[in-house]
Amino acid sequence: MKTIFFLKRSLLLVTIIGFTCSTFAQEKDHALASIEYEFVHVTDTTRRENPRKERMILYLGKSMSLYKSKTLALKLAEIKKEMGEEFNEGNKKRHLSFNAPNIATSELFLSPQQQQMRLVDKIGPIEYLIPEDYPMIQWTINSQTKVIGGYNCQQATGDFGGRTYLAWFTAEIPFPYGPWKLHGLPGLILQASDATNDVQFNYAGFKKELNDTITIALPKEAQQTTWKDFTKAKIAFEKNLMFNHKALASPNANTKIVLKDQSGRQLSEDEFSAMRESRANEKKNKPNNPLELDKK
């Protein structure tokens, strides 16, 4: 299922979500390189044959990194291509949204020098910034080595999120970053998995970014909130997704909502509602194996 909507302007969800209006310094960096990972997560140990899979990308800057879904970026590019001139028509500000199971919409910013980690996510077209505790991982570097993607790598182990991770990093790419919240080694982490292989970040390619077109920056207009408030508001918003998308647009806004299933077939509002109800029933049986086992 995917939802496309174009909004000229929108209303803030001040009645749903609490946020602070305090400003924060606009941090900005340019991506010098990027690495892609195949992310595999067994979310339900009773259904190991059906893990979540997603392509992720990590942009590497001098002082910041950005971790996000490459799968989502490809889907959005596909939708823009499908819309063609209709998407680019006129000078009106347009927002594009894609919603589907097992595709992350959040972006994770890591700033090692300031020891800060921020999560950016959306509810409708509205962006929210969520500060999180900076992950401190005590790594033990081991003597085992192997070659990944043509790079000489060394093994390290460390505990995070209630799991013990085995990571392979290379000093040949001297960035202290890695997939997701795994970081802090004297070289880029090319591959990592937890002790049970329920969580895997498999190397899928590295490249240098040869120009300054990719910027790593926190969004200027994102509203700061807490993870608890954001989660509560998102659940409330998604209970009536169609109504809330329409409510976010003014009566005179140029708004278009297109609903499709994952095969690309366009859905009626009734079919969409039935699909959401089915997904809601599935969610009642919560996955028993979250990414962070110790996160409350």
pLDDT tens-place string over residues 64-110: 999 999 999 998 888 777 766 655 555 555 555 666 667 899 999 99
The reply to whether 64 falls in a domain is yes
Give the least confident one: 50-54, 125-129, 276-280: 276-280
Is 191 part of a structural domain of the chain?
Answer: no
Task: Answer whether residue 6 is part of any domain.
Answer: yes
- Per the DSSP assignment, residues forming a β-bridge with 193 are 166, 200
CB 129 within 8 A of CB 227: no
Q: Is residue 67 part of a domain?
A: yes
pLDDT mean over 46-56 = 94
Number of structural domains (the chain) is: 1
> For residue 129, which of 217, 244, 69 has the smallest C-alpha distance?
217
What is the per-residue pLDDT across 2-29, written as a single tens digit (0 to 9) for each?
Answer: 343 333 223 233 333 444 444 445 578 9
Within 10 angstroms of residue 190's Cβ, the number of other Cβ atoms is: 25
Q: Is residue 216 part of a domain?
A: yes
Cα separation of 103 and 99, whole Å?
8
Q: Which of 248, 243, 232 is nearest to 272 (CA)?
A: 243
Please state, in angstroms and rounded to a whole number, the distance separating the CA atoms of residues 109 and 120.
8
**pLDDT, greater one: 168 or 266:** 168
- Spell 89-113 as b/e; 16+ CB within 10 A means b: eeeeebbbbbbeeebbbebbbbbbe
pTM (2 d.p.): 0.82
In a domain, 239, yes or no: yes
In a domain, 188, yes or no: no
Residue 199 resides in a domain: no
> 91 is in which domain, residue-wise?
2-36+51-133+206-283
Mean pLDDT, residues 120-130 = 91
Closest to 94 (Cα-Cα) out of 2, 7, 11: 7
